[in-house]
A and B are shown apart, each in its own frame.
Chain A
Amino acid sequence: MRSFFIVLLVSVISLSLSASSSKEETKLLVEQTAKFCKTHTKKECFEAIDSDRFSKDELFIFAFNYDGVGVANGRIPMLIGKDLWYLINPDGMHVFQEQIKVAKQKEGWLQYKWKTPKGKSIEKLSYIMDIDGKFYIGSGLTLKKLEAN
């Protein structure tokens, strides 16, 4: 667990240190993953996502079904099987319900407030893409970078 956090920490630092991911990169990553998933079985798709193959710097792929339950995750495997339908961010937004709404329109961007494990509030911009009408995939970039940009 600790090592995981360390990895996360390292990655975040590296992200902040390295050249931050852009909107294009995020969208490209999601599109690549979606392309893979649509040409492969669901199992192969989830395994591919879980193995964090589709990632770049801070960006990684997460996959949820339309009930808000995590089905695959590149960096936070703990969320697999967790029901985040009811989750409310500090703005009072049902983040995952909104993501599903976007996913239902095939693909799109969603910005929302999020909190780091250390409790720091951040703005996230995620690109969401439906796969087969049953689950969607997405990836988010931290907008602080954008602001900093």
Chain B
Amino acid sequence: MKIIDNLNIHKKITLTPIVSILFMLIISIFSYTNLLNEKETIYDLVKVKMHTVEHNSKTTALLRLINGNMYKIFNLKSAKFDTKKIILEQETLLKDLENYFNEVSKCPYVEEANKLHYANMAKIYQLYKKVALDSLEIMKFNEHVSFMLFLGSDELYNDIVKHLTKSSTISNEQSLKAYEDSMSKVSNAMVMLFILMAIALVASVALSIKVSNSIKIPLKNLQNGLLDFFKYISHEKDSVEPIKVFSHDEIGEMSKIINSHIKKTQEDMEQDSHMITNLISCVEDVNNGLLDGKIKEEPNQKELKKVKEIFNSMLENLEDKIGKDINQILKTLDDYSIYNYESSITNAKGKVEVTVNSLGTTIQKMLNENLNNGQALKEKASTLFDSVDTLEENTTKQKELVIESTFELKALTDNLHKQVVNSSLIASHSDEVNSSAEKGTTFANSTARAMDNMKRMVDEINKSIEIIDNIVVQTNILSLNASVEAVSAGDAGKGFSVVASEVRNLASQSSNASNEIKKIVNKAKDRADEGKKIVQEMIDGYKILRDNIDSTMTIISENTTIANKQDKNICNINDIVSELFKQSSKTTSIVSKTHSIADETNGIAKKIVEDVKKLNKNLEVSI
């Protein structure tokens, strides 16, 4: 059984099926062998015995038939019937039975015990057959002798029948014996089979239980051990037992490895827990205000190591920045809060401690300064009080002055209004003159336009005269050409040269006339130009007039604007004054308020001085 424990799981698992298969094989082989035996027995029973029975019954039947036939033949013979046919039949039958005996002797199913019988039977039959055939032969000579012979063969017949009976008996006996043997063999085999099966079943079940236990129990142990270990890790349990190792299989090996891990983890966790206890006491110290603690225990976990480092450096820092004992600092500060500045921290090293101590000193200094300042303030406050009184008086005076200036301003405003009205009257008069001047300008302009029209007409006349001059020149050239042509034409052209000279005359007359017209027209043009100049002068005169009027108007309007502006300014002044009035009233109230404030300040200053004095007294006592 220990051997099974020490097998590995693979072998354990395969062991049970292998054993079962072995048992099955044994059972199968056993069953097969038995079945084979039974098969032979059944074969024996069926083939051999059945064949024997069949042979015997067939032999008996044939023999009886032959025997009966013989008697039949004798009967027929004595009755003088024709026996040829039946004799032939009988011969065939005899032959058949002989053949059958031969067949049977060759048959493989004949048993050894019966083989002798069959051999004897065959021999006897040979005799019987011979006797029968002989008696049939002899019948031809003496049927009585033949009958006697045949009667003698009864002996043989009986012998054969005896053998047959014996053979059948043997066969039956053997069949019965074989059957009984077979049955007993079968029942033995069944008993044996049941025993084998029971053994196989018990062995398989026992083996499988053993194998499953040899896996299950260590597994259960392993599981429980692991669960305990996990509980221990998650701090649900305080201690952990190592896993029990029963076997040397994979589970055993695993258990051993886990055990070594459990041991190591246990040590590590204990180390860590020491460190944490140390940490907790340190934290409690810090809570109690003591900052000079240190974690001394060395933890196992990296994180805890880091925690230790950080915590220790934090403590160092705190000690460095604050001091060894916060309680002392708090006590000193409490003393300060009840104005006991004599208190200080002994052996101050931390920055806060040093600072608190220096704070004490500074406050003491400051208090001294405050005393001085309070006294100075007190003096200044009384000065302020006086100044405010003076201010109040001044303000009242100012208010009266403002009221006076208000009245003055009103008078000024009324005058200004009158002035503005006058300047607007002047402006309307100037406007009228301006419109008359505009009308004159309009007329002068239309005259100038008429002059221009006349000048344009004169220019057109001049253009017409130029056209006429051109015509005259061309006519002159034409008449010259005509006279030349008339000369070249000779006599025929004489008449034509007259006409040409006439035309020349006409042209020169026309030229004269046009010159005259030109002169007249030019004179008219000159006149028109003169008219235009006069008109231009008139327009210029009007323009100057208008400009003067415009400038006057501008001055007036400027005056008006200024007057208006002044009016507005005065109004503004008025407003300012009234505002000033309001302000001065406000100032009065402020002054009165300031007065009361100065009063209070004075009081406060006095109080400060008193307090400081009081403190200073304490200080003086403490110092």
Contact = CB atoms under 8 A, between A and B. Distances in A.
By CB atoms of chain A within 10 A, which of B137, B138, B152, B156 has the most? B152
By CB atoms of chain B within 10 A, which of A4, A85, A95, A119 has the most? A85
B145 interface: yes
A85 B152 contact: yes
A78 B138 contact: yes
Contact of B142 (A83, A86, A90, A117): A117
Contacts of B142: 115-117
Interface string A43-58: 0000000000000000
Interface stretch (B61-69, B126-134, B279-287, B544-552): B126-134
Contacts of A89: 148
Contacts, number: 53
Given A88-B151, A115-B148, A82 B143 contact: no
B148 A82 contact: no
A88 B137 contact: no
B149 interface: yes
B160 to A, nearest CB: 13
Contacts of A13: none
Interface residues of A, number: 21
Contacts of A117: 141-144
B144 A94 contact: no
Contacts of B259: none
B162 to A, nearest CB: 16
Given A78-B137, A78-B138, A86 B149 contact: yes
Interface in B507-521: none
A89 B151 CA distance: 9
Given A83-B134, A86-B156, A78 B141 contact: yes
Interface in B323-357: none
A70 to B, nearest CB: 9
B127 A78 contact: no
Given A87-B151, A116-B144, 13 more contacts: A1-B141, A76-B141, A79-B138, A86-B127, A86-B131, A86-B149, A86-B153, A87-B145, A87-B149, A90-B148, A115-B145, A116-B142, A117-B141
Interface in A59-107: 76, 78-79, 81-90, 94-95
A83 B131 contact: yes
22 contacts: A1-B140, A78-B137, A78-B138, A79-B138, A79-B141, A82-B134, A82-B137, A82-B149, A83-B127, A83-B131, A84-B149, A85-B152, A86-B127, A86-B149, A87-B148, A87-B149, A88-B148, A88-B151, A90-B148, A115-B145, A117-B141, A117-B142
Contact of B152 (A86, A90, A116): A86
B110 to A, nearest CB: 28
A115 B152 contact: no
A47 to B, nearest CB: 21
A79 B141 CA distance: 9
Interface string A1-42: 100100000000000000000000000000000000000000
A117 to B, nearest CB: 4
Contacts of B459: none
A87 B168 CA distance: 30
B155 interface: yes
A89 to B, nearest CB: 6
A26 B507 CA distance: 240
